[in-house]
Amino acid sequence: MHHRSTPHHLAPAPAPAPAPVTVIVGGVAGGMSTATRLRRLDEDREILVLERSGAVSFANCGLPYHVSGVIPERAALELQDPARLAARFRIDARVRSEVVAIDRAARRVTVRPADGADYELGYDELVLSPGAAPRLPDRVAPDAPLHALRTLDDLDAVMVAVDGLPSGARAVVIGGGYIGVEMADNLHRRGLATTIVQRSSRLIGGLDPEMAAPLAEHVLERGLGLRFGNTVTAVEARRVVLDDGSVLPADLVIAAMGVVPESGLARAAGLEIGATGGIVVDDAHRTSDPAIYAIGDVAEKRDRVDGSARLVPLAGLANRHGRAVADAIAGRPSISASALGTAVIDVLSLTAASTGWSEEHARSRGIEVRVIHSHPLSHAGYFPGARPMSLKLVVDARTDRILGAQAVGTEGVARRIDVIATAMAADLAASALADLELAYAPQYGSAKDPVNMLGYIARNLADGEDATIQWHELDDAVADGAVLLDVRAAGQLAEGAIPGATWIPVEELRERADAYAGRRIVVHCRIGQGAHTAARLLASLGHDVVNLDGGYLTWRDGMRARAHEHAADATTADLRAA
Ligand code: FAD
């Protein structure tokens, strides 16, 4: 007979261990990626998300495009809401709930709901993803029409302000970085007379001057105003005051002067903060307290090129690192790759993209660089619709390592930068770009893709088969006695010419080069390719010759950048003249 023990013979069943609790501060890019991934990995854990604003999981990157109506529905920007998160993921997401203190010893946070009394929550792991706060001008009058754009609440306030303005009202955007340019673009589309005030003499930090110059030209051509070399010192009721004392009328002012990590909570809790102002984390995003993680705009990243700590406020990293933290909390191996800062922006229908280091940054770090500019077409020239672009590759001259790349154009720009970013992530050398097998049909690319071409040029330079100088080195070369030869085809001369250049078509070089015996020759064409042929010819005839990298087009962009610098404290009209 089957023996059955009676209950009183059994030891009392142990109480089930309480499920661990993960508390997440900030419920958007990084925080919500952590929350949903963690739920997929662990059904039992308690997951609480505290969000200060009125919405979680909204599309920050789409916010500017609702201002103009490019994204017509506000609802499209709300990717999730607390009810759906509770039903689908059993995530307890609380909006209008700010975390105001962390008690690390007790592992508790203090939460301040907008409509109630403070309360405390215990945690086993705490994830900080509170993002970054917009910088604001120093002096802002109480009735100033100043807005920043970070949350849906901010967007709602901007929409109320814009809806109350007549077409043609004046908007000033402070800052010509990514968010500033996007906001200016959308305010302009909305019919506001928009001016960007930018401290430096170029739009989109991170681009080298000759790559950024066409963006400013384009913005001016589209009818926006640009004030380079100025900062806004005060925002008043209907105007902004600039540091040179001049005044711009303004019915609406957008602060897009950059962001600072929201690291106050972490600082107050005694977590280590880096020199950048971001929270110091290890490769698994752990702060100096192993129970607390930090991701997104608030946390420092490790630079892919030199391993230094830097801030990279970009959505892709926040999302990926959110996922990585969930893995770490769930006990999975989780080491994140370092950051390249790959970014892309639409500047009134012109695309600018970059990855890794700029030439300026590399040189400022004392690195000997090889720089390559090219001006390819987006796809085969014989197939209708090919569009020009400018590409730039920055290479460590000692190692052939790719340090960074930039591109400006329209079609195909982001794709080329993504390929190079991938090559950098895989530690491919610049010369190895020549061998990449990239998708090709004439409407998409070329049999020698622009990225392959960069690799060919890099290989030629590495092999010593070609030598180049940069647009900013030309004046010194000529001052040192070099002669500048223009080998463009006759039909290309109408675009303009570099002062002091002597025009000799490639076909006549053999006969006429003797006149320059004993002198260094700088040879240039329109984009650098024809001059490469000319340089090979001249070298084989025994001349000391270098190719002006990127040709006339890069030089022209460089001169535009210089003009922007000189006009940095001038008016829109001066910039237009440049
Ligand atoms: P966020 O996504 O900003 O989330 C942080 C949240 O934490 C905020 O909602 C905030 O309210 C909340 N919070 C802060 N402190 C507390 C607290 N103490 N308690 C509770 N909640 C708190 N990146 C790109 O890569 N491409 C783009 O095109 C792009 N466009 C952008 C456009 C705009 C207008 C903006 C603002 C940003 C854009 N970004 C873009 C940047 C990208 O959105 C951020 O890098 C990313 O959202 C950072 O994620 P995060 O989780 O660190 O912060």
Pocket test for ligand 1, best of 33, 61, 173 (most atoms within 8 A of CB): 61
Beta strand extents in 79-158 (DSSP E only): 92-94, 97-103, 108-113, 119-122, 125-128, 132-134, 139-140, 146-147
Q: Using only C-alpha atoms, what is the Rg of the chain?
A: 28
Residue 126 Cα to ligand 1 midpoint, Å, equals 18
Whether 9 has a pLDDT exceeding 70, the answer reads no
Question: What share of the chain in percent tops pLDDT 70?
Answer: 96
Give the closest residue (by CA) to ligand 1 atom 3.
Answer: 131
- Least confident interval from 10-14, 88-92, 192-196: 10-14
User: Which one from 21, 59, 61, 140 is the annotated catalytic residue?
Assistant: 61
Whether the CB of 262 sits within 6 Å of ligand 1: yes
Tell me if 444 sits within 8 A of 379, measured CB to CB.
yes
| Assigned architecture for domain 139-257 | 3-Layer(bba) Sandwich (3.50)
∠ Cα 437 441 445 (to 5°): 70
pLDDT at res. 12: 72
Atom of ligand 1 nearest to the CA of 295: 52
Whether the CB of 53 sits within 6 Å of ligand 1: yes
Atom of ligand 1 nearest to the CA of 62: 32
Residue 131 Cα to ligand 1 midpoint, Å, equals 5
Distances from the Cα of 522 to the Cα of 183, 471, 560, angstroms: 43, 11, 21
How far is it, in rounded angstroms, from Cα 472 to Cα 484?
14
Whether the CB of 296 sits within 6 Å of ligand 1: yes
Provide mean pLDDT across the span 226-241: 96
Whether the CB of 318 sits within 6 Å of ligand 1: yes
| Assigned architecture for domain 349-462 | 3-Layer(bba) Sandwich (3.50)
pLDDT at res. 3: 45
The CB-based long-range contact list for 96-99 (8 Å cut-off, 24+ gap) reads 96/51, 96/52, 96/53, 96/54, 97/50, 97/51, 97/52, 98/50, 98/52, 99/23, 99/25, 99/50, 99/52, 99/130, 99/265
How far is it, in rounded angstroms, from Cα 551 to Cα 532?
10
Give the closest residue (by CA) to ligand 1 atom 42.
Answer: 315
CATH topology of domain 468-562: Oxidized Rhodanese; domain 1 (3.40.250)
Residue 42 Cα to ligand 1 midpoint, Å, equals 26
pLDDT at res. 13: 76
For residue 208, give the 3-state DSSP assignment.
coil
CA diameter of the chain: 116
Beta strand extents in 123-262 (DSSP E only): 125-128, 132-134, 139-140, 146-147, 170-174, 193-198, 225-228, 232-235, 239-242, 247-249, 252-255, 259-261
| Assigned architecture for domain 21-132+261-329 | 3-Layer(bba) Sandwich (3.50)
Residue 525 is among the residues annotated as catalytic for this protein? no
pLDDT at res. 2: 44
- Helix (H) or strand (E) holding 509, with range, is helix 509-512
For residue 400, give the 3-state DSSP assignment.
coil
Tell me if 525 sits within 8 A of 488, measured CB to CB.
yes
Which carries the bigger pLDDT value, residue 4 or residue 457? 457
Helices (H), 222-341: 264-268, 315-329
Give the closest residue (by CA) to ligand 1 atom 18.
Answer: 99
Beta partners for 242? 232
Take residue 374 and report the two structure tokens written for it. Answer: 């090219």
Atom of ligand 1 nearest to the CA of 64: 34
Take residue 491 and report the two structure tokens written for it. Answer: 């039909």
Domains 349-462 and 468-562 share a fold: no
What does the domain layout of the chain look like in residue ranges? 21-132+261-329, 139-257, 349-462, 468-562
Whether 81 has a pLDDT exceeding 60, the answer reads yes
pLDDT at res. 575: 57
Q: Classify 349 in phi/psi space as left (phi over 0), alpha (psi -120 to 50) or beta.
A: left
Helix axes 315-329, 29-41, angle to 10 degrees: 30
Whether the CB of 52 sits within 6 Å of ligand 1: yes
For the segment 112-160, what is each residue's pLDDT rounded down to a tens digit? 999 999 999 999 999 999 999 999 999 999 999 999 999 999 999 999 9
For the segment 351-410, what is each residue's pLDDT rounded down to a tens digit? 999 999 999 999 999 999 999 999 999 999 999 999 999 999 999 999 999 999 999 999
pLDDT at res. 5: 45
pLDDT at res. 573: 46
How far is it, in rounded angstroms, from Cα 41 to Cα 332?
10
How far is it, in rounded angstroms, from Cα 297 to Cα 278?
8
Helices (H), 3-81: 29-41, 63-67
Whether the CB of 297 sits within 6 Å of ligand 1: yes
Residue 154 Cα to ligand 1 midpoint, Å, equals 12
pLDDT at res. 567: 76
Q: Which positions ≥6 away from 146 have C-beta within 8 Å?
A: 136, 137, 140, 235, 253, 254, 255
Whether the CB of 319 sits within 6 Å of ligand 1: no
Q: Which positions ≥6 away from 56 have C-beta within 8 Å?
A: 27, 28, 31, 32, 49, 80, 81, 82, 85, 93, 95
Whether the CB of 450 sits within 6 Å of ligand 1: no
Provide mean pLDDT across the span 175-200: 97
Q: Categorize the per-residue pLDDT at 566 as very low, low, confident or very high, splitting at 50, 70 and 90.
A: confident
Backbone angles phi, psi at 385, to 5 degrees: 95, 5
∠ Cα 391 394 395 (to 5°): 135
For the segment 150-183, what is each residue's pLDDT rounded down to a tens digit? 999 999 999 999 999 998 899 999 999 999 999 9
Whether the CB of 258 sits within 6 Å of ligand 1: no
How far is it, in rounded angstroms, from Cα 55 to Cα 286?
26
Q: Categorize the per-residue pLDDT at 577 as very low, low, confident or very high, splitting at 50, 70 and 90.
A: very low
Give the closest residue (by CA) to ligand 1 atom 38.
Answer: 61
Whole-number average pLDDT of the chain: 94
pLDDT at res. 522: 98
How far is it, in rounded angstroms, from Cα 176 to Cα 504?
41
Question: What share of the chain in percent tops pLDDT 90?
Answer: 92
Which carries the bigger pLDDT value, residue 339 or residue 8? 339
How far is it, in rounded angstroms, from Cα 460 to Cα 452?
12
